[in-house]
Chains A and B, each alone.
Chain A
Amino acid sequence: MALYKNYSKKEKKKRYLRDGIIMLVLLLLAITTLFPIYYMIISSFGEPVEAGAASYSILLRNPTLNSYKFFFDYSKYSYRWILNSFIVAGVVTVTNVLFATTAGYAFAKLRFAGNKVIFFIILVAMMIPYQVTQVPLYILVVNVLKVKDTYFALVAPSLVTAYNIFLAKQFIGSLPSEIIEAAKIEGCSQPKLLVKIIMPLSKTVMAVMAITTFMGSWNTFFWPFLVTSEEKMQTIQVGLKNFSFANTTYFAPMMAGATVSALPMFILFFSLQKYFLEGVTVGAVKG
């Protein structure tokens, strides 16, 4: 990238100075950005004492796991919360990837009456703020279907999201139609075509969808908070909030709980960083 001036060999010092300043600024900003997370993790190793007696040190001193124990001992369902989160996020991820890819293929490559209209309606509905649908959705799930405190209630509204259908349609639409035509001439049926040809070619977008969906579902607080009142059925985010409202002064255990809720995502992020970062741009940059 030649946005920056290319210094000649004589001006080496100048170049080092400029690059040094850039690195310094970036590092300082990065430290500021990362500080809350660092502080969360460091503090989670403190003793589970009330806030007045707690140390607010930003350095790790006498690390102990007692605060984690305190957090897990708070409710007999604390492990269940993590399990629930994994179940909900797992189910939602699988259904989204599968059904969004299938529907995306249909919208992108198959001709049927109403194709464009239906897709357009889905697209428009994507723009509606969730505040509009939250009340009717709540009434539907809790009062009409009467499925409060079930996995069905947690999972159903996000089985397949409009955004994922949109992503899959965009991606599959960019695949050359000749491949599909050739397969059809060979006598390949539609389901076989989808599984043997479209899905292998769409691995990237499927991976991106899987990761963003899993992360979104894991971190979501609002909907599980509305449809679960029994502790047994809560997800980790809801459990964490309840823990904190019951233990407002226990600083270190709260940080331990926060770390527990964030850790699976951090592990996932560091092992699949490429797909995470791709997932951010895939919806924004055309391609």
Chain B
Amino acid sequence: MTYGKNPSSKKRRILSNESKWGYLFILLPLCTFALFTLYPLIDAFIISFQKFKPLKTEWVGFNNYITAFKNSLFYKSIINTIVYTVLTIPLSMMLSFVISILIVPLSKRKQNFFKAAYYLPAIASGVALSFVWKWIYDPLPTGLLNRIVHFFGVENQNWLGSSKTSMLSLVLMALLSSHGTSIIIYIAALLGIDNTYFESADIDGATFFQKLHYIVLPLVKPTTVFLLITGVIGSFQVFQNAYLMTGGGPDNSTTMVGLLIFNNAFTYFDYGQACAQALVLTAIIALFTFIQFKVTGDGVEY
């Protein structure tokens, strides 16, 4: 093997060799990405300007968007989604934070025990959990939740079947089956706080709540922001529980945007409408994420 006369050409040879491998290493992921993410994404924009028909698809301009904004159910589903998010995310985060604070002083073994216990529902499939919760919410007096509220003197409720309680039922289910992840993330953040902060606070005679307020909360803020933003993004896309538990009913009281889009696409096969609504949803999510970043301030990196 002979190398070029000056060192720079040798270097170029190594570089080109390196980039050759670089392209080879990303080839398959890139093809998958282009075919199953990038192409559908571009196609979604195109479909949103079309009316899908089995034989001939026609261009309809902004019609799908206009229909979406004139549709009262679309607004209702957005409001439902916001209500669901506002009820679920802050409560779930507060609950997770309190639980993490309580777990942190325990011994490693107890910590692991509780981490596992709180995380377990997150591993069970959503379909399996939705079955169990359906029976917990059984409207008959023998239903579990009905027996519990009856104990406190509250009368029988048709939990999922009445528009008064259907949304609350979905919220309760989300609260009790999805906080495991945030608890584990909070614990990791809490364990990362340097002990010297607390030692100097002790010298100043700070109380437990003062330490919590002036040390813990500011230091776990990046974690809180992360959980808030990912939580809101996830919550805006929620589909499965509404689909399996209530199907959006009664009277569309639990129709979330995700479910509405699904129905438009795969029940009514109005692909154009579904894509237009999905793109509006994307814009809403982007807007909310932007606002949250602004409100919670900078200094959070990913």
Contact = CB atoms under 8 A, between A and B. Distances in A.
A110 B195 contact: no
A207 interface: no
A162 B132 contact: no
A122 B33 CA distance: 8
B253 to A, nearest CB: 21
B51 interface: no
Interface of B is mostly: helix
Given A36-B176, A222-B240, A190 B188 contact: no
Contacts of A237: 125, 127
B33 A135 contact: no
Interface in B228-245: 233, 236-237, 239-240, 244
Interface residues of A, number: 91
Interface of A: 1-6, 22, 25-26, 29-30, 32-34, 36-37, 39-40, 43, 56, 58, 99-100, 102-103, 105-107, 110-113, 115, 118, 121-122, 125, 127-140, 156-157, 159-160, 162, 165, 184, 190-191, 194, 215, 218-219, 221-222, 226, 237, 240-241, 244, 251, 254-255, 257-259, 261-262, 265-266, 269-270, 273, 276-277, 280-281, 284-286
Interface stretch (B66-74, B109-117, B291-299): B109-117
B185 A36 contact: no
Contacts of A129: 233, 236-237, 278, 281-282, 285
Contacts, number: 289
A165 to B, nearest CB: 6
B93 interface: no
Given A33-B118, A37-B124, A103 B26 contact: yes
A34 B99 contact: no
Contact of A277 (B101, B119, B121, B302): B119
Given A1-B195, A273-B112, A26 B144 contact: no
A260 to B, nearest CB: 9
A32 B176 contact: yes
Contact of A128 (B41, B176, B271): B41
A132 B38 contact: no
Interface of A is mostly: helix
Contacts of A29: 99, 118
A219 B274 CA distance: 25
B101 A135 contact: no
A163 to B, nearest CB: 12
Given A138-B265, A273-B112, A285-B189, 20 more contacts: A3-B211, A3-B212, A30-B118, A33-B180, A37-B121, A40-B128, A40-B132, A112-B23, A127-B233, A128-B41, A128-B282, A132-B282, A134-B262, A135-B274, A140-B35, A140-B40, A157-B36, A159-B28, A194-B25, A284-B223
Interface residues of B, number: 107
Given A39-B144, A111-B22, A134-B265, A160 B117 contact: no
Contact of B26 (A22, A107, A162): A107
20 contacts: A1-B104, A1-B193, A3-B216, A26-B103, A33-B118, A40-B124, A40-B128, A103-B25, A103-B26, A125-B33, A128-B282, A131-B257, A132-B279, A132-B281, A135-B47, A277-B184, A281-B188, A284-B227, A285-B192, A286-B301
A262 B125 contact: yes
Given A36-B121, A273-B116, A254 B131 contact: yes
Contacts of B189: 285
A190 B21 contact: yes
Given A103-B26, A221-B126, A262-B125, A280 B119 contact: yes
A123 to B, nearest CB: 10
B127 A106 contact: no
A228 to B, nearest CB: 13
A219 B116 CA distance: 18
B244 A111 contact: no
Contact of B123 (A125, A136, A262): A262
B248 interface: no
A281 B185 CA distance: 5
Contacts of B286: 127
A122 B133 CA distance: 37
A99 B15 CA distance: 22
Nearest to A111: B18
A21 to B, nearest CB: 9
A188 to B, nearest CB: 12
Nearest to A54: B142
Contacts of B38: 121, 125
